[in-house]
Each structure stands twice: as C-alpha cells, then as structure tokens.
Amino acid sequence: MAEIELRGLVKEYPGGVRAVDGLDLTVADGEFFALLGPSGCGKTTLLRSIAGLETVTSGHIEIGGRDVTRLAPGARDIAMVFQDYALFPHMTVRDNIAYPLRIKKMGKPERHAKAEETAEGLSLGALLDRRPGQLSGGQQQRAALARAVAVRPQVFLFDEPLSNLDARLRLEARTFLKRLQRELGVTTVFVTHDQAEALAMSDRMAVMDAGRIRQIGTPTEVFQRPTSTFVASFIGSTPMNLLDSVVDRDTLRVAGVTLPLPASARPHVSDGEQLVFAARPEYMSFRAEPEPTGLEGVVAIVENMGVGSLVSLEVAGPADVTRIVQVTVPEGQEPEIGSRGWAVPAPERVLLYRRDDGELVGSARSDATDPVLAAARN
Amino acid sequence: MTVRAVVGRIGFYVLIALITAFMAIPVLWLLFAPFDRTPSLSTSLPEWTWQNFTGLLANPYALTSLGNSVLLALGSMVLVTVLGALAAYALSRVRIPGRDGLLYALLLLSSIVTGTAAMVPIFLLMFELNLIDSQLGVVLVLSGGLLPAAIFILKDFMDGTPRSYEESARVFGAGPLQILRDIVLPVVRPGIATIAVWTVVNVWGNFLTPFILLRSPEKSPAAVVLYTFYTEGGQANLGLISAFSLLYSIPVVAMYVFVNRRYGFRFHGGIKR
C-alpha cells in the first residue's frame, strides 16, 4: 500500500513553458484523488510525471516511501489507464489483460488464469476472445481497467477515464469505478476536466490552474468554500454568481442593493474596499415580491433542469451595465419571462473575495505570485 | 437521351475497348506464345506444343537464374523491411531538427542512387569494396536504393500508431525492442507487407544493376538471363523468351494474390479503420 508524495515538482518544456510549476502534494494511502482543472492547466502532465512518462525538471516523487523520480515507468509499480484505453488492437481481450504479466515473465497458463479471473470480476468473462475493435466503449473501458487491475500495482493512474463514454454510460461508469476503487483499496489518482466527475468520485481533489494547485480539499469543502474566484467559477454545475461589490461601513453594496456585512468578514475588510460577492444559484431563493435583501432584476431566461429550473435575472449594475444573476427555483414555481423578481442570497452561504487577488476575504494575503502556498495553508 | 448523348456514349465505349485491347493483347501474347510452335510478335491462337518449355529446361542458366532472382529478391526484402522498420520507428518517435527535410532529401536522392545516372560511381564503389560479381553487392545496392521510399512509407504507418499504445506498454515495464516486436510491428503489419511485396517486385524486375555488377552467368537473375536468349542466327528466340517470361511472371502474380488476401495492401497509415 502506498502513499504518493510530490515535493517541489517542476516540469518545464523546451521553450520555457512550465506545465507543472513547483508543486507539493501528498495523496494518502488508499485515497481516490482527483486532479481537476481546465485544459492546459498541467493536470495531465502531472499525472504523466507520476507515471514516469515525463521526466521532471526538478523536484521529487515518492511512491510508498520510495523515491521513484528517476526510475523508469515500468519500475514504479503503477498501472495507468489512458484516455483512449490504449488496448492493443491485434490482441484478444485475454492477451491484452495478460500482456503486463507476460512482460513480468509470468508463465502462459498462469497469466491466462489470472487474466480470466480478473476479467470475470469485471464481468468481461464472455468477451475474452474478442478483439478490442469488437467491444463497445464501456466494455473497452472495463478491459483497460482489468488490464490495470491484474497487475496488482501500488498505485492506479487514470487519465480522463470517462471522457470517451457517452453521457448515460458515463454516470454508470462513475459509480462502477468508485466501487471498484473502494473494493481494491488501491491509491488512485485520476485526471478530469469535469468538475461533476471530480465531486462525485473523489475522496479529495486538487483544483489546478497554470501548473499550480489552487485548492486541495474534500469535494464538500471545495464546493462550499472555494478559496478563490477561480475555483468558485470552475466548480458547480451551475456557474457561481460573482458580483462586484463595495464595503460601505457595516454594509455591503451589491448591484444597487445594500446588504449587511457578514460578521465574520468585518475584521478583515476596510471601509470602501472592493470585493467580489459570490453566491451559488442553489444557495439563493427567488421571490416575486420586493425583498430588501434581494437583488432585483428582470427574468430573462428560464432553463429547465429537470428538477427545478435555473432563472437568469438581468440586474442593473453600476453605470447602467446589466449583470446576470442566476438562481434556481423549485419545480412548478417558474416565473414569467419579463416579470420582475428578487434573488435573495442565504446569508450564511455568501462568500466574499478580495477584488485584487481573487482570494477569500480573511485568508492570509500571500505573495500574488505564489498562490500555491495559500492553497497549501488552507 | 439525345442523339448527341448516344453518340458520345458509343464513342466512350469504343475508346474504352481500344484501351482495354491495348492493355490486354500483350498479356494474351504472354499466355499464348509460350505454347505456340512458331511464336511471333503478333498474338494469335497457338498450335499447342510444349517444345518451348523443353528447350528452356535444356538451357543451363534458365532455372538457376530464377533461383538467383528469388535469392536477390528475398535478401533485399529482408534487409529493406528490417532496416526500414527500425529506421521508420526511430524517425517517427524521436524529434530531431530537420527530420522531414532529411526524409525528402533521401527520397529524392534515392531515385538517383539506383538510377542509370549513378551507375558509374556505384560500379567504382562496388569495385573498391570488392563486391563486383557478388550477389551481396547487388542486394546492397538495390536495398540502398529502395530504403528511403520504404522508410518514408513505413514512417507514415508508424505515425498512425497511437503513442498511448507504447506508453501503456512502457508503464507495464516493456522495453523499446519488446514494444516494437509486440505492439508496433503487429499494428503496422499491412505496411510491412506492402513494403515487402514492393521490394520483391522492384528487385525481381530490375535489370540494370545485376547486369552491370554480376559477371558469371550462373549468378545472374532471370531478368539478365532473359536478355541472352538468342537463336544461332543472332535473332531473339521468341519461343524461349515467351516461355521464360511466363515462368518469370508467375511468382510475382502469385505473391501479389497471396499477400493481398492475407494482409491487404495499404500505402498510407494515417487513416483510421
């Protein structure tokens, strides 16, 4: 069993692009860990560095207490599942699953027995003699997983394991993957650009941007308390409302409305400070009657989300710039388009960020050039 | 249909028929002339006889030359596919500056290497290397000329193999040669088959290189021996030539049919199945 420890990891490509920029991270033994971020943020490079497919420029990688920084991929005791599954098209499913064991010089009857046992466990028993080209997307994914599982590695690495599946299958695979990881108890790192996937599957997750980790935490922590506007805007299936606001003594002026300044924020802000007011659409309620703490606007769009709807209000901002505020309403309470409405934030759910560095009000002010430390301290 | 369209259509078919006849008549000659008692340059139904073939058997060099052809073709095929596959794999996977330029330059120059223009320097080179009148020399020269194009085509196949296959194998601990043998070569098999056949056909039909580099008639391949079939009067012995031509063409046609059944020909690797 193994924990993964990354210290001061830097991967610089020729030409000076830093895909991974001085990164520290510990993944606990048996943990299901998600690396989440927009494309180009360095999450895949980080995963490939752990696998050994990229040579790191500096820093250390330890797996199970063993420094593997300079070891070849095959010597790291890991198994990786690729985005395209990388099943060998000329081999049957049985030979595919047995191939890593063949590399490890296991005898033919032995490795075939093991491949069959593993395939059985992943309900691939009937497909052993097929070629990958004859399998459906979901079956291919399970064959790739079986190949990784049969090796019994210390660490699993999954690169966008679900992105090649269609939407329906993806949900099933999510549940399946999470259960499989729980049963095997193998430390797993997976990369995804889909925040819903990261929230649903991981025990802990890291949100990355520009080669650095912006926030590490459990899905609940990251969802409820994003430490920066970047994370806030990235997480959540409906985008977080982020509105410019100004501190006015004991109050907060947001989009023409004066709200009480939360007591917890009071010691950290000064009069006249520019802030960003943040509230999730799910944490706001919609009223059709005037409400003093509500943001007033005109209903512009109503999007049906199955259970409930997402209402977009056009709110008059400073200097006549209209802003969109989104709020969810329960089923059957959808307002008319063009009617007036008030979006009332739940006070305990409101988050305030500093306008200048985008960090949470009250968080330690770090060097603007080094947000990694701020995230790590959290 | 207007009259104009009908006439156009008829004219089109007549043209097609003429072109077909133009292509088919030499093939018919090849099929009929070997069995004709008095073969001529025109194509006609033969007066059946085996005498041309018995005459061929009496010739001391006819059958050995076919063996020599097989030797040269297989030797070049092995050399070109092995070296070509290794070089194409390396060129496909390793980034070196000016790689594509190098490939195009090689491709361009290769047509000169086996071409007529370079025959004198090649002869001198082989002479210095002591490879005159040696089948090894012929294999080396022909392989050298074919390799650039083989590398060029094979590299395209290698490029079409997803890197994740190799990376996956690497993570499982496979070494570079293991990856080449277990993963890359089986995946690019149609490409290898294409190159192998193409090499055989090229060497099989090559006349100039063995004609210049080989001196002993017992080492000459079929293409060169064919050139020696004269009658006592100094005229082309059409009986021997036609019978030998038929024997000479059968292996290539047979191989083409076999390989096409077994692997299928593809000259490009990039297109997804």
A80 and A152 fall within a common domain: yes
B134 and B32 fall within a common domain: no
- Domain final position from A206, A228, A250: A228
A186 and A113 fall within a common domain: yes
B32 and B110 fall within a common domain: no
Distance from CA of A81 to the nearest CA of B (A): 8
Interface check for B273 against chain A (CB to CB < 8 A): the answer is yes
pLDDT, residue B2, reads 85
A162 and A31 fall within a common domain: yes
Residues 6+ apart with CB under 8 A from A294: A257, A287, A342, A343, A344
A206 and A243 fall within a common domain: no
Partner-chain contact B187 A88, CB within 8 Å: yes
Instruction: Give the CATH number of the domain where residue A300 resides.
Output: 2.40.50.140
pLDDT, residue A373, reads 40
Tokens of A166: 């269609």
Determine contact, residues A211/A20, Cβ cutoff 8 Å. yes
Indicate the length of chain A as a whole number: 378
A264 and A311 fall within a common domain: yes
A372 within some domain: no
A251 and A204 fall within a common domain: no
Q: Which residue range(s) make up the domain with B30?
A: 3-49
A295 and A180 fall within a common domain: no
B56 within some domain: no
B173 and B244 fall within a common domain: yes
- Cα separation, B169 vs A139, in Å, equals 20
B40 and B171 fall within a common domain: no
* Residue-wise pLDDT tens digits, B157-208: 888 888 889 999 999 988 888 898 899 988 888 889 889 989 999 999 899 8
B71 and B44 fall within a common domain: no
Partner-chain contact A103 B170, CB within 8 Å: no
Q: Which residue range(s) make up the domain with A352?
A: 230-362
ipTM above 0.90, yes or no: no
A197 and A209 fall within a common domain: yes
B176 and B103 fall within a common domain: yes
A279 within some domain: yes
Nearest CB partner across the interface for B187, out of A53, A73, A89: A89
A377 within some domain: no
DSSP state of B183: I
Instruction: Give the CATH number of the domain where residue B190 resides.
Output: 1.10.3720.10
B270 within some domain: no
B44 and B153 fall within a common domain: no
pLDDT, residue B272, reads 42
Find, among A56, A356, A358, A336, the residue nearest to A232 by Cα: A358
Partner-chain contact A99 B189, CB within 8 Å: no
B189 and B76 fall within a common domain: yes
User: How does pLDDT run along chain A (378 residues), one tens digit per residue?
Assistant: 689 999 988 998 888 888 888 889 999 999 999 999 988 888 899 999 999 998 889 999 999 888 998 888 888 889 999 988 889 988 999 999 999 898 888 888 888 888 888 888 888 888 888 898 888 888 888 899 899 988 889 999 999 888 888 888 888 888 888 888 988 889 999 999 889 889 999 999 999 998 889 999 999 999 988 999 999 988 888 888 988 888 888 888 887 788 888 878 888 888 888 889 899 998 899 998 888 888 888 899 999 988 889 999 988 766 667 788 899 999 888 888 888 889 998 888 888 898 888 888 877 765 544 444 434 333
A258 and A276 fall within a common domain: yes
Interface check for A143 against chain B (CB to CB < 8 A): the answer is no
Domain total in chain A: 2
B92 within some domain: yes
Partner-chain contact A84 B164, CB within 8 Å: yes
Nearest CB partner across the interface for A103, out of B173, B187, B273: B173
A44 and A102 fall within a common domain: yes
A52 and A177 fall within a common domain: yes
Taking CA atoms, B190 is separated from A109, A269, B82, B196, B261, in Å, by: 30, 70, 15, 10, 11
Nearest CB partner across the interface for A88, out of B167, B170, B183: B183
Determine contact, residues A269/A360, Cβ cutoff 8 Å. no
pLDDT, residue A187, reads 92
Domain total in chain B: 2
B24 and B136 fall within a common domain: no
B45 and B150 fall within a common domain: no
B207 within some domain: yes
B269 within some domain: no
B133 and B19 fall within a common domain: no
A371 within some domain: no
Tokens of A214: 């912006």
Interface check for B182 against chain A (CB to CB < 8 A): the answer is yes
pLDDT band at residue B60, thresholds of 50, 70 and 90? confident
A124 within some domain: yes
Residues 6+ apart with CB under 8 A from A55: none
Instruction: Give the CATH number of the domain where residue A13 resides.
Output: 3.40.50.300
B267 within some domain: no
A283 within some domain: yes
Choice between B235 and B198, residue whose per-residue pLDDT is larger: B198
* CA Rg value for chain A: 24
Distance from CA of A118 to the nearest CA of B (A): 17
Distance from CA of A199 to the nearest CA of B (A): 27
B193 within some domain: yes
